[in-house]
Amino acid sequence: MDKGNYTFINEESRSPSTKRKIIYICAVVVIGFGVGTLLFYFINGESFRSHGKGGSKPDTCSIPDVEKFDCHPDRPISEAECLKRGCCYIPASDLSVKDSDLTKSSFLGVPSCFFSRNHKGYEIDNIIKDADHIEATLSRNISSGFPKDVQKVHLNITFIDNVNLRIKLTDADSNRFEPDIPLHYKIVHKRNELYTVELGLDGLLSVKRKATGAIIFKTNLSQLVFSNQFLHLSSHTASSYLYGLGEQKEGILRSFNWMRYTIFNQGDLPVPHRNLYGSHPFYLVLEPNGNANGVFLVNSNAMDAVLQPTPAISLRTIGGVLDFFVMLGLSPSDVVEQYTSIVGRPFMVPYWSLGFHLCKYGYDSLDNTNETLQRNLDKGVPIDVQWNDIDFMKRYLDFTYDPVNFAKLPEFVDDLHARGMHYVAMFSPGVSNSEEPDTYPPYDEAAKLDLFVKNATGSDFEAKVWNWNLTVFPDFSNPATPSYWAKQFQKYHSELNLMEFGL
């Protein structure tokens, strides 16, 4: 169901004028909806209550650039607001980054407003430790500047087994949203933990590899931001070899040159510096001696990860709680194994899907599809799978096909199968809500079961995607949705004898 892998090969060919869609999918971790970019979210903030006297002593602000952690990520930056947060204001020497660039680029530069050495956002208290866990309470002192600071944060660190631990920060006084996905782990009796965990009253929380002292996770909880719609935690990393934070177009090795990586499902063209279809709030870091560790943040809200040359990572999200799984490898493949054992493993792909595929948006007709395929075969190009993008559909409606231009689709698919080839028809995980009543079962049946994602006022959330009119989105976190969706495919499959579908 991960659209990214399948449509990627053909997105480039869609006409730019039709390139605006938002797709809400059941990805491995995330169902997100709601906002554009984090930086603009708080521009129209409320006036904030401040407990501070304003400003910090200059010596607490003399911090090397690489160790400055952004205290004012919400733009535009105001010196007065910065000082009210008890942070340091020193306009960054690199002023080449203009606010208007931020939407186009992911380079943020050195922050002008940063946490001082003695910043006391939260005061840590009531530390309880035993062989299996550590607990503590964080009490808000100076206001973060973001509306509705959580006044008491509960910290719960669970030692799961020798290689995995969980660090969870929640509102001590009320429940907040947590993704409803099963996480698989068992707390076991431990004998040889690979890690040591330290937590001090000054707020320092660190996880180190026992054998080498390598830093796995290190944060000063005094600088935590945990407000209703903005949560921020920075952690040092063992090196600047960090992989993950998908989905992004540029490889998987990330840059620590003050780069921002946004994690928020978006169905736009794969272009540099932009978030894509999948959300994977997970990263893997190589330690100096080649060991690897991994961190997974269980949070499905839109988020940014910012990497700076300390080396350190800052994670910022606009809702939920901060729930980290920390994995100690040893090897990179051990980390991936630990991660996938917690979140669940993907399906094994069919063997043929590893073959040669041919796909394009804009064949427009079956004849054109067939001729293109034949032309390639005639030239000796090996092809295992022919695809059609959504132009095989009637008005881009899921579970239909164009009765004129693709009239012989079933015969074509039969013919491919007879020749040992496969066919994939592309789908969108949203359906039209603008058809005549009782003419379009994919809508009618889901509407009857009330399966669509809702907007803030409780109506079906509608958006413009590919079908001509408006689209609504089956909520894949609703247990009734998968069987509804499977039923549509079964019906379509039996009508068409199609074998494979790409989402």
Ligand X SMILES: *[C@@H]1O[C@H](CO)[C@@H](O)[C@H](O)[C@H]1NC(C)=O
Residue numbers at the binding site for ligand X (CB under 6 A): 52, 86, 118-120, 123, 135, 141-142, 156, 158, 166, 202-204, 220, 222, 370, 374, 408, 411-412, 415, 434, 455-457, 459, 462, 468-469
User: What is the CB neighbour count within 10 angstroms for residue 477?
Assistant: 12
Rounded to a whole number of angstroms, the minimum distance from the CB of residue 200 to ligand X is 8
* Residue 198 CB neighbours (<10 A): 11
393 contacts 402 by C-beta, under 8 angstroms: yes
Least separation in angstroms between residue 83's CB and ligand X is 11
Q: What are 449's two structure tokens?
A: 């079961």
Please, which residue, 75 or 408, has the CB nearer to ligand X? Answer: 408
| Nearest CB to ligand X, comparing residues 1 and 326 | 326
Alpha-carbon gap, residue 136 to 127, rounded angstroms:
4
Which residue's CB is nearer to ligand X, number 180 or number 479? Answer: 180
Q: Which residues of 480-493 are buried (b: 16+ CB within 10 A; e: fewer)?
A: ebeebbeebeeebe
* Residue 479 CB, nearest approach to ligand X (Å): 24
CB contact set of 110 (below 8 Å; sequence gap of 6+): 65, 68, 92, 93, 94, 258
| Closer to ligand X by Cβ: residue 32 or 86 | 86
Tokens in use for 387?
Answer: 């695809």
CA-to-CA dists, residue 160 to 148, 157, 189, 326, angstroms? 32, 9, 8, 10
Taking the least distance from each CB to ligand X, the nearer of 74 and 435 is 435
Query: Which residue is associated with the tokens 């090397």?
Result: 64
Q: How far is the CB of 378 from ligand X (least distance, A)?
A: 9
Question: In the complex with ligand X, which residue's Cβ is closer, 19 or 395?
Answer: 395
Closer CB to ligand X, 19 or 104, in the complex: 19
Which residues make Cβ contacts (< 8 Å) with residue 343, sequence separation at least 6?
28, 29, 181, 183, 184, 296
For the chain, report the end-to-end CA distance as a whole number of angstroms: 6
The DSSP code for 107 is B
Least separation, in Å, of the C-beta of 52 and ligand X? 5
Q: Minimal distance in Å, beta carbon 323 to ligand X?
A: 9
Q: Residues 71, 26: contact at Cβ < 8 Å?
A: no
- Smallest gap from residue 474 Cβ to ligand X (A): 17
Compute the least distance from the CB of residue 175 to ligand X, in Å.
12
| Separation between Cα atoms, residue 484 and residue 486, nearest integer Å | 6
Q: How does DSSP assign 285-301, residue by residue?
A: EE-TTS-EEEEEE---S
Closest by Cα among 234, 237, 377, 395 to 317: 234
Q: How far is the CB of 2 from ligand X (least distance, A)?
A: 28
CB of 199 to ligand X, least distance (A): 12
Q: What is the DSSP string of 466-479?
A: SSSSEEE-B-TTST
* 27 vs 233 by CB, closer to ligand X: 233
- By DSSP bridging, strand 357-358 and strand 385-388 are parallel
Residue 497 CB neighbour total at 10 angstroms: 14
For residues 12 and 202, which CB has a smaller minimum distance to ligand X in the complex? Answer: 202
Enter the tokens of residue 56. 């910090």
CA–CA distance, 304 with 342 (Å, rounded to integer): 23
* Residue closer to ligand X (CB basis): 317 or 386: 386
**Considering beta carbons, is residue 220 or 275 the nearer one to ligand X?**
220
Q: How far is the CB of 68 from ligand X (least distance, A)?
A: 13
Q: List the structure tokens of 406.
A: 């693709």
